[in-house]
Amino acid sequence: MKTVYLDNNATTSVSQEVREAMMLYLTDIWGNASSVFYSVGQAAEDALARMRMSVAKELGAANANEIYFTASGCEADNWAIKGAAFANKRKGNHIITTKIEHHAVLGACEFLERNGFEVTYLDVDKDGFVTPEQVEAAIKDNTILISVMTANNEIGTIMPIKEIAAVAKRHKVIMHTDAVQAIGHMPINIVELGVDMLSVSAHKFHGPKGVGLLYIRNGTRIDNLIHGGGQERGKRAATENLAGIAGLAKALEIAVANLDKNTAHMKRMRDRLIEGLMGSIDYVKLNGPTDQRRLCNNVNISYEFIEGESILMRLNMAGICASSGSACASGSLDPSHVLMAIGVPHEIAHGSIRFSVGEDTTDEEVDYVLEQMPKIVTLLRSMSPMYEEFEEGRLPSQTKR
Ligand SMILES: *Cc1c(COP(=O)(O)O)cnc(C)c1O
């Protein structure tokens, strides 16, 4: 049976060009980029400098030395938040973020709360948005950091980051954004966005897992998260993951070069899925924005009266890979914090499925999902006590037919 992979917000396949770009650094160029007194190390150092320049250019950073490679998106988020909090604690102890951030951001904020910091978690509207006005109203004299994600991984909300960064700048507060889901899905130019820090992870755009970066604008006060040697301008110890960084740089180059073509295709696949599923299945709710402010590849729909996990199992039997929320949240019985924050009732949130398409998703794959999903939902509802109660008129529906 063919596998239909529609979980690209969780991770993506490593493309062949990326694999090939990495291979050189697993074979011929294997030196330590910090061992610059001999040629083996120098070759690694030269390569690293080239990659840093390439990445800075593709992201629209002003200087290559503002790019700090990390071991993941989670590390970049943790570093940005804990590092800025501790470095600026003499100035204040208040941080502003949103209720729909990735767990890397929320977990770092909760850690800081246990260590003397105060965090405001902004409410979002029914589509997942916070407004620049909301952020401005939350700023206090002791506010030192604002962290708002560029695009949400569960429901695809694209936040007004440029406007929020302008507010932060006006109030001289450091601004961080988790742009992990944005890369390859929308144009990103750091200087235009006006943020002080920005997180990226390679495996979300066909790079390898275990490598990411944090952009830190020169002049931003931030403490180290990883202490040790003097790598990454003394800010992040650890011998550089040259092959991983080569993969990140190549994947980014390809993502940026093909952005217009890829996003147009993904939008078409996304919209075919949304229209097809909403049109053929009753008692459903689309989660997230319905306009241009939705990530080009994200489909998140709640199916009333049934469980997301049961849908996933049936989808898997049909060879279709999807997600019932974020990868981090699945496995726990709590409904997604993102769906809770946008006001989806508990019972409905439990029956939510996220399909995230890629540039390689085909019309045939979409057709197949549109053929399978109504069958799966009908079957599961036929076994659902909740659906039986609903049909007997003892339970109201919370969605539209
Ligand atoms: C995947 C993801 C991360 C974490 O990146 P890792 O490299 O997997 O640690 C952080 N933020 C968002 C929005 C993500 O989607």
Type of residue numbered 238: A
With H, G, I as helix, E, B as strand and everything else as coil, classify residue 160: coil
Is 82 near ligand 1, meaning CB less than 6 Å away? no
Helix H or strand E encompassing 144: strand 143-147
Task: Give the distance (Å) from ligand 1 centre to CA of residue 157.
Answer: 15
Q: Which residues of the chain have pLDDT under 50?
A: 326-329
Cα–Cα distance measured from residue 162 to residue 194, given in angstroms and rounded to the nearest whole number:
6
8 A C-beta contact, residue 45 and residue 199: no
CA-CA-CA-CA torsion sign (109, 160, 63, 186): positive
Closest listed residue to residue 102, CA positions, set 134, 76, 120: 76
pTM listed for this prediction? 0.97
| Neighbour tally for 389: CB within 10 Å | 13
Q: Ligand 1: does its nearest atom lie under 6 Å from the Cβ of 310?
A: no
pLDDT the model gives residue 121: 98
Q: How far lies 287's CA from each of 2, 102, 152, in Å? A: 28, 17, 12
Tell me how far apart the alpha carbons of residues 168 and 149 are, in angstroms, rounded to a whole number: 14
Expressed in angstroms and rounded, the spacing between residue 73 Cα and the centre of ligand 1 is 5
Closest CA to 220 of 103, 343, 83, 355: 83
Q: How remote is the CA of residue 347 from the centroid of ligand 1, in Å?
A: 27
Q: How far is the CA of 204 from the centre of ligand 1 (A)?
A: 8
Output the CA 305–ligand 1 centroid distance in Å: 30
pLDDT of residue 401: 65
Grouping H, G, I as helix, E, B as strand and the rest as coil, residue 55 is: helix
Nearest to 104 by CA among 200, 182, 7, 174: 200
Give the Cα separation of 210 and 189 in Å (integer): 23
Residue for token pair 């899905």: 185
Q: What number of other Cβ atoms are within 10 A of residue 86's Cβ? A: 16
Residue nearest atom 8 in ligand 1 by C-alpha distance: 73
Radius of gyration of the chain (CA): 22
Residues in contact with 82: Cβ distance below 8 Å, sequence separation at least 6, in sequence order:
108, 111, 112, 223, 225
Contacts of 327 (CB under 8 A, 6+ apart): 10, 11
| Both structure tokens of 222 | 């931030």
Ligand 1, atom nearest to 101 Cα: 13
- Ligand 1 nearest-atom number relative to CA 204: 1
> Which of 157, 178, 180, 214 gets mutated to test ligand 1 (max ligand atoms within 8 A of its CB)?
180
Tell me which H or E stretch contains 321. strand 320-321
How does 356-383 read in b/e, with b if 16+ C-beta sit within 10 Å?
bbbbbbeeebbebbbebbeebbeebbee
Helices 363-382 and 259-280: crossing angle, nearest 10°?
30
Give the β-pairing of 298-303 and 67-70: unpaired
74 flagged as catalytic? no
Q: Which of 8, 97, 204, 225 to mutate to test the pocket of ligand 1 (most atoms within 8 A of CB)?
A: 204
Sheet holding 143-147, edge to edge: 67-70, 212-216, 197-201, 174-178, 143-147, 94-98, 118-122
